[in-house]
Structure 1
Amino acid sequence: MKKSKVYLAITIPAFVFFFIFHTYPALQGIFYSFTDWKGYGDWNFVGLKNYLNVFKDDRAGDAYLFTFEFAVITTILVNTISLLVAMGLNSKIKFQKTLRAVYFLPYILSILIIGFIFNFIFAHLLPQLGESLGWDWLAKNILGDPDLAWLGIVVVAVWQSVSFSTILYLAGLVTISEDMYEAASIDGAGMWRKFWSITFPLIAPFFTINMVLSMKGFLQVFDQIIALTGGGPGRSTESISLLIYRGGFEGGDFAYQSANAVIYFIVIVAVSIFQLRILNKREAKY
């Protein structure tokens, strides 16, 4: 009885706060997505009109395209770099614990602060360096170029996210016994063969977690864009999250963007489930 009371005393307040600040607003958003509410004043039911209009909206289509391109490229880069870094940190080198702490520092910093710092780097430091070296391609601010601004956002997102993925990969690498590598060396296996036959299969669950979490997180990219480009130049780096925020809270399209948010939620869930099924099948092969 005492344990059950303690359990209820802990879980009920957490459930109440979660419902008030997460579930209830989400249900409200779904409700208003079937109306014409602007965020203020009266409203009327419009059925599926908002949902149908999302599929006809070219601006929403461009935002979805940019978001998916960004998420795919960044997810691949983050997992490739973090796996290489994790394997390096897991090898027998000095100051392993210190290096792990240093690599994790970017993840605990505020995304907005990091964004503002890199904004200064892209706008001032790199162009000055390019001018002094005579490199025209580096002498301009890429954040002001509609064709290159996305690269700056990718750099910042990868730089900060690599640390978290690295920690997860390290957790997987430490579970692999050194005896397996020694046995493989005796059989004449090289570094590449050891990786594909031992390392990668045994850290497959950690690879799955990293891929799903990375993709889900980058599909919701918002802070980096706000801090670096604000969705510009023009609308070249406008993500879905930024479009929903601006249209819903600044443009008076609360109901319409609520429908967009519901669609976006379904898309993210569908992508995550698809990833899990594909990657779990790959794990089963091993």
Structure 2
Amino acid sequence: MARRRAAFYWMTIPAVVLFFLFHTFPALQGVYYSFTNWNGFGDHYDFIGFKNYYYLFQDSNVWNAYGFTFKFAVVATIFINIISLLIALGLNASIKARNFFRAVYFLPNILSVLIVGYIFNYLFSNVFPIWGAHLGSDTLAGNILGNEKFAWLGVSFVAVWQGIAFNTILYLSGLQTIPTDIYEASNLDGASKWQEFWKITFPMIAPFFTINMVLAMKNSLMVFDLIVALTNGGPGRATQSISHLIYTGGFEGGEFAYQSANSVIYFIVIALISIIQIRFLQRRETDM
């Protein structure tokens, strides 16, 4: 028994080593370089302490990126969970062609984010303006992605459209774990549909709600591919996310160490938000 257990531990060593080499070690290197002035090329650099972190808080581009990212993440997370829950409730209530519609709603999650982004980029640039012109709407006749005030709405729309696929499947899985006997008892007691949802359905799927909220928020805060495909951070810097700023500044702007410091703060922010979400939502689970 002991030899078998030891064999299991030895089998995990290659995976642990690979994870450390390609994930942990580069992350530690990034933390190390965040205290230097290295531009990403050559071997010459100096230690400058916390100067990169200090200048980050003085950088208007950084604040703009964090502002857009948080606004986008909150809107996308709310609408993804509301729409996906409504779809899941509808699919769970309808027995006919349930598997077919489940596959249809999951299809956007299969597609690459870049592919989805480029398709919608074409639609926003060429198709929707034509429809808007035929409808006589000046607002729809223009490319929303080229509007500095409303470009973030276009990005949010595409993110929600693709994000609801995975969340719908999770909510549907949660709904199918609820025993039908509970609903039969509530019907005998004369409970309304709203009372059934708020007193039975939602408390029973609370763990799935927690998972979906955390994942949707995390994915929205880390948005990158969609920004590249739709707007590349434009117009101007109106839709530049934190990930996009780190990439363009670090690999194209010679700010490797500076953006390494930004990525460290970025990681801390995402970790804190995720921990707060989990603790708050799990506390609600126990209160229900």
Structure 2 SS opposite 1:138: helix
- Corresponding residue of 1:193: 195
- Corresponding residue of 2:8: 7
- Corresponding residue of 1:175: 177
Mapped to 1, the partners of 2:144 and 2:197 lie a distance apart of: 37
* 1:30-69 aligned within 5 A: 30-41=31-42, 42-69=44-71
1:76 counterpart letter in structure 2: I
Gaps of 5+ in 2: none
Structure 2 SS opposite 1:123: helix
What is the aligned counterpart of 1:129 among 117, 131, 137?
Answer: 131
* 1:1-286 aligned within 5 A: 3-4=4-5, 6-8=7-9, 10-41=11-42, 42-286=44-288
* Consecutive aligned runs of 4 or more in structure 1 exceeding 4 Å deviation: none
TM-score (norm 2): 0.97
Mapped to 2, the partners of 1:228 and 1:276 lie a distance apart of: 31
Cα deviation code 1:7-50 (max 9, x no counterpart) = 24531221121111111100000000000000012111000111
Cα deviation code 1:118-174 (max 9, x no counterpart) = 001100111001111212111110000001111111111111110111111111111
Q: CA deviation at 1:93?
A: 2.9
1:13 counterpart letter in structure 2: P
1:278 counterpart letter in structure 2: F
Structure 1 SS opposite 2:140: coil
1:75 counterpart letter in structure 2: T
Q: CA deviation at 1:108?
A: 1.1
Mapped to 2, the partners of 1:178 and 1:6 lie a distance apart of: 45
Mapped to 2, the partners of 1:156 and 1:274 lie a distance apart of: 27
Superposed CA RMSD:
1.1
Q: CA deviation at 1:5?
A: 5.7
1:213 counterpart letter in structure 2: L
Cα deviation code 1:197-220 (max 9, x no counterpart) = 000011111101110111011000
Query: % of aligned pairs identical?
Result: 60
Q: CA deviation at 1:92?
A: 3.0
Mapped to 1, the partners of 2:70 and 2:26 lie a distance apart of: 26
Mapped to 2, the partners of 1:279 and 1:243 lie a distance apart of: 31
1:285 counterpart letter in structure 2: D
- Further displaced range: 188-197 or 93-102: 93-102
